[in-house]
Structures are given as structure tokens and as C-alpha cells.
Amino acid sequence: LSWTSSEIREQPLVLERILRENPAQAKECARQIKDRGVRYVLIAARGTSDHAAVYAKYLLGSKLRLPVALAAPSLYTFYGTPPLTGPDALVVGLSQSGASEDIIAVVRHARSQGALTLAITNEPTSELANAASLVLPCLAGPERGVAATKTYTAELACVALLCASVAQESGLFAELAALPEAMDQALQTEQAAAQVAAQYCRALLAVCLGRGYNLATAYEIALKIKELAYIHAQGYSTADFMHGPLACVEPGLPVIAVAMSGALRDDVAASLSRVGQRGGQLIIISDDEAILQSAHASLPVPKVPEWLSPITAVVPGQWLAVHLALAKGLDPDRPRALTKVTVTR
Ligand code: F6R
């Protein structure tokens, strides 16, 4: 068993740990966010963590009605023209390692400008954590696989807990509490994902689609597939896909689609049917029986509230990436050219 596979399996435990050990810190972050009268959020993140930031953009936007922007770190580190943030900004460094210089630079600059700063990181003694005034630890434990799996869902869960703490709605906490069990069920998609992998492991290209909360999931699955199976998988919003990339669909192109029930269900289903008409092979991750029936290959996940669905919906994609690697004779723990910690400036 690879480290990556065991780390995927650890995810329900990590979620339990976050829900058990993080509420006090999340509450303190929420208190400061409210005391400051935060009106907008800027998030700096790279790679997988950047996908967690995309999730945060939708979640804080919908539940807290806060505009969220993703930072452009080179404005801080190369151009020397960092956008000015004031005291009503929350600036978040979202990073598993807490080591990337560009992410640290964004947080440092924002703090010097008087913004409230928060590090969400799996390394609570990292330089990033030191640079920020608040820290929310991801509590995922050491991750040995190069590909981020449990640290990704831990980041999502920390963002979700923070959001529930600011909103202070008991319903949101109850929904969060049910998450570890749903995660357990999502893990059971391994066999189905392995079958899909056996069928598609010779593909050179793939597309991953999702929208709304699950745009992050589409991006993240695409990255896992690129990094572990060396298949050029590109993630798109289903809406953006209709604005041009649809023309690239040739018969047989594997299209991995995240189509969860909720506000976007019908819209995503309609886009997928156009992709299907162009001959795309639909590999669908969904909690909706009817949508799954329209798939060439289906990866059913448990029903959870839409705002939490990215945490469970990514799991079949993680399995798919691992099994595509195995089917190609690759070692999922050691993708070529990559190291565990990547530092960029
Ligand atoms: C992809 C992966 C990388 C990391 C990225 C994160 O599976 O593992 O994309 O997510 O290097 O950097 P930090 O440590 O800043 O989160």
C-alpha cells in the first residue's frame, strides 16, 4: 500500500480531529474578524492550496457575503507593487508547508499595512504561521506522499469550520459533524475508480469539469491526475468550458465531471449533455442517481449539503489519480520532478 493511499484513507480521522480540536481557535478567528469589521478577503496560495482558496471564495461569498480575491504574489515579490490592503481586510496565507516565500510575502506585507492576517497551515510553527497574527492548524499530521490528499481536505474543513464559526449558525455545525462519516463512505469509491483507471489509463489528455463550490474539485482532480499519472488533465468551470474549450472535445476524450445536487445541478447536467453529444466520455462524480445514469462511468458519492460536498467529492478523483498511476506502472508516492515542499518566490 502506498503512503498516498493510506493518507487518502486517513481523511475521516483528520476531519474528526479538526472538528474536535479546532473550534476554540476558529472561534477566536471569528471574533477578530467580526471585531475588525472585515469587509473583504485576500487569499494567497499555490498548487493544491490554491484550490482550497477557490473553495473559500465560494463559501465565504455565499455564507458570509464577503468578496474574496486570490492574491497575485508576483506583485509583492517581483514587481514591487503590492496592492494596498487596509484594516478591513482579512489576508489569508493558505499553505500546507507554510514555507513558500511568495505566500509569506503577501501575508507580511498585509500585516504591515494593518490588515488582519491568518495562516491556515499544516505546519503551525512555520515561517508563514509566524508571519500571520492568527493561525488555524490543519491537523492532518505528516504527509509523506508527494501529492497532497489529506492536507487538501483538511484545508477545506478548516475553511468550512471558520466560516461556520463566523456565521454562528448551529445548523452549519450539525452538518459539519456528519462529515467524517460521509467521508468514510466516499472512501468506498476506490474499486469503481480503479475500474475507470483501467479503462482510461492510455489517455494522453483529459478534462475535469465542475462549477460553484465544486470548481475547486475539478481543478484539484485535474492536478492530481497530471502529477500522479502524467496525463494532461485540465480543470474548467462548466460555464467557461462552454465559452470555447468545448470545441476541443473529440469523440473518446475522457471528461471527469463533478455534478453534485444543489443550486448548479441542472446547469451542470445541461453542459454535460452537450459534452456527451460531442462524443466526450463522461466519467461522473455525483450524489444524484439520474445524473449518474447519463454517465459512461459513474463514481457515486454520499449526499452531503452542497457547501461541504467538495470535501467528499474529491475522494474518487484522488483514487482515480492513484489508480491511473498504478495502471501505468508508476509509483504514486514519487511523481517525477517533484519534491514534497515547493518554494516559489
Ligand atoms: C499537489 C501538491 C502541490 C502542493 C503545493 C502546496 O498535489 O502537493 O501542489 O499543494 O506545492 O504548497 P503549500 O505547501 O504552500 O501548500
How confident is the prediction along the chain (345 residues), in pLDDT tens digits per residue? 899 999 999 999 999 999 999 999 999 999 999 999 999 999 999 999 999 999 999 999 999 999 999 999 999 999 999 999 999 999 999 999 999 999 999 999 999 999 999 999 999 999 999 999 999 999 999 999 999 999 999 999 999 999 999 999 999 999 999 999 999 999 999 999 999 999 999 999 999 999 999 999 999 999 999 999 999 999 999 999 999 999 999 999 999 999 999 999 999 999 999 999 999 999 999 999 999 999 999 999 999 999 999 999 999 999 999 999 999 999 999 999 898 899 899
pLDDT at 337: 87
Distance 332 CA to ligand 1 centre (A): 15
- Whole-number Å distance between alpha carbons of 24 and 30: 10
Half-sphere exposure (CA, 13 Å, Cβ side) for 97? Answer: 18
Contact 329, 155 (CB under 8 A): no
Tell me, yes or no, if the pTM score tops 0.85.
yes
What ligand 1 atom has the least distance to the C-alpha of 342? 11
Q: Which residues line ligand 1 (CB under 6 A)?
A: 46-49, 95-97, 100, 103, 147-148, 223, 227, 342
Closest residue by Cα to atom 9, ligand 1, is 47
What ligand 1 atom has the least distance to the C-alpha of 103? 15
CB neighbours of 97 closer than 8 A, spacing ≥ 6? 121, 122, 123, 126, 340, 341
Tell me how far the alpha carbon of residue 344 is from its chain's centroid.
20
Distance 105 CA to ligand 1 centre (A): 17
- Whole-number Å distance between alpha carbons of 79 and 77: 6
Picking from 271, 247, 243, the residue whose alpha carbon sits closest to that of residue 257 is 271
pLDDT at 343: 87
Closest residue by Cα to atom 10, ligand 1, is 48
Helix (H) or strand (E) holding 91: strand 89-95
What ligand 1 atom has the least distance to the C-alpha of 149? 7
- Whole-number Å distance between alpha carbons of 302 and 300: 7
Distance 96 CA to ligand 1 centre (A): 7
